[in-house]
Amino acid sequence: MSMFVSAMTTAAVMMGITLGFVTYAIYAERKVLGWMQLRIGPNRVGPWGLLQTVADVLKLLLKEDIVPHKADRTMFLLAPIVAFVPSFTVIAALPFSEHLLLADITIGLLYVLAVSSISTLGIVLGGWASNNKYALLGGMRAAAQMISYEVPLLLSVVPVVMLAGSLRLGDIVQEQAGGFWHWYIVPQFFAFGVFLIASVAELNRTPFDLPEAESELVAGYHVEYSGFRFAFFMLAEYMYVFAMAAMTTVLFLGGWHAPHPALDVVPGVVWFVLKFVGVVFFLFWIRATLPRLRVDQLMGFAWTVLLPIALLDIVVTAIVQSIIR
Amino acid sequence: MALSGDFIAFVVLASAIVFGVLTFLGSGVIVHRVVALALSFLGMAGLFVLLGAELIAGIQVLVYAGAVSIVIVFALMLTPSHTHKPRTPTWRALAALVGCGAFGGIIWAVLLERTTNGTPTDALEFAVRDVGVLLFGRYALALEIVSVLLTVALIGAIVIGQKQKGGAQ
């Protein structure tokens, strides 16, 4: 029983941390986008606009919870939960430092990728249950896109698993110890590129934000959602930003390891957070820089560019590994 | 059996599977059916975790539960838009009942056999690495044959699908 209580407490603490992250990731995103577009960004609520997201969330919570008359009520209510729960479940397996890790799963990498694939169901379901053509189109696009990009995403982590010899995320980080030249971004730069692009596509973020392209689909799959349920979809999206940035850090950027052994005095969590923030900033940066792709470009890119690179990377890694051994 | 955490988890997961399957069979809306299918797949993954087969659980989620969204897309594109509940004749329901009974009996017999002879804890010490070594070492040929079989089945499905399309025209 005490184990159950402590598990619930850790989960609650983690929920607090991730909610804090989501709150300030949205603020940071708006600020960064503002600066890149020569605007100031939010600056009214609280000092430097720091409470802007808090105000936005409060507004969302106070809004009327609308279920459209013609919607499929059960599925409409279920969809945001199906989208959100996996996004939070994924976070349990992420190792933030040598000791700061909630669940040490032997198949950690597989777990993260498998569980995160369930969220697609929530998005498709939400789009269908809304009984709205824009929502359905957005849901269909989400299904097509997330399934196409899951293939290169999965294949791009295979070379990392081959090098590390383990699916446990902690072991993968441990293998990258001893300076930045041991990080997998160096030997596996192409895998890193494929992973980064595919993860942006999995996150449905610009330039891959076709499922919620506001200028063509109004808002895509969540157009009929309001208030708290809309907040759930948004929360799931930013939770995945958290999870994907952490995964990039763990798989390719050496996790909690310092760039040089001499810098090991700084605690691992600090390094993890620094790299993590770097990846998150990169996501904001490309959002401000790149325009949205067209549907035909999107699918072609996944199957004819990313997939061959990922496959080739696996073969080359296997050959090099068998030569070295 | 004592009221341990494992037992409670088993009951919850098993009832999720049964509920999912019953909804899958009974619901008239095809999307509801697919979601129920996802529920039972996830329940099965949970059972695999309880048995210590984490790798199989992960693959179960990735391959089956994760792909349910594709099933929804196909279900929406390939079925008529109006919702209808197929009426089952009584004799078919009876036959299904008999079939389920026979299957349950066989499983029951197998379980009785296993619990007296085998030790269920064997699976716990089975690491992912061992699975990989066995799969690509001793059973590499079987694995390749299965992959060829799957490819053949895939191509066959496409061919059959195209034939039916041509026949309709």
Give the alpha-carbon dihedral of B98, B102, B104, B107, to 10 degrees: -170
pLDDT in tens, A199-218: 888 887 778 777 776 677 77
Helix intervals (H) in chain B: 5-26, 30-50, 54-59, 68-78, 90-117, 128-136, 140-168
Contact A113 B35 (CB under 8 A): no
CA distance A118 to A202: 12
Which bin fits A97, alpha (ψ -120 to 50), beta or left (φ > 0)?
Answer: beta
The pair of structure tokens assigned to B18 is: 């049964």
**Chain A residues interacting with chain B (CB cutoff of 8 angstroms):** 72, 74-75, 78, 105-107, 110-111, 113-115, 117-118, 120-121, 123-125, 128-129, 140, 143-144, 146-147, 150, 165-167
Contact B54 A128 (CB under 8 A): no
pLDDT in tens, A93-140: 888 877 777 777 778 888 888 888 888 888 888 888 888 888 888 888
Q: Give how far A137 is from chain B: nearest CA, Å.
A: 11
Please determine, for residue B94, whether its predicted confidence score (pLDDT) is greater than 90.
Answer: no
pLDDT the model gives residue B103? 92
- Structure pTM? 0.82
What is the ipTM for the molecules in this complex?
0.77
Q: Would you call A323 exposed, middle or buried from its count of C-beta atoms within 10 A (0-12, 13-18, 19+)?
A: exposed
Contact B35 A78 (CB under 8 A): yes
Q: Give how far B23 is from chain A: nearest CA, Å.
A: 13
Residue A101 backbone phi and psi in degrees, to 5: -160, 130
pLDDT in tens, A11-69: 888 888 888 888 888 888 888 888 888 888 788 887 888 888 888 888 888 888 888 88
Question: Higher confidence at residue B114 or residue B7?
Answer: B7
Q: How far is CA A50 from CA A42, A44, A255, in A?
A: 8, 8, 29
Please determine, for residue B169, whether its predicted confidence score (pLDDT) is greater than 50.
Answer: no
Residue A95 backbone phi and psi in degrees, to 5: -90, 115
Q: Give how far A72 is from chain B: nearest CA, Å.
A: 10
* Cα atoms found within 13 Å of the Cα of residue A152, Cβ hemisphere only: 31
Please determine, for residue B145, whether its predicted confidence score (pLDDT) is greater than 90.
Answer: yes
Q: How far is CA A215 from CA A128, A209, A224, in A?
A: 20, 11, 16
CA distance B55 to B47: 12
Among the partner-chain residues A113, A128, A146, the one whose CB lies closest to the CB of B76 is A128
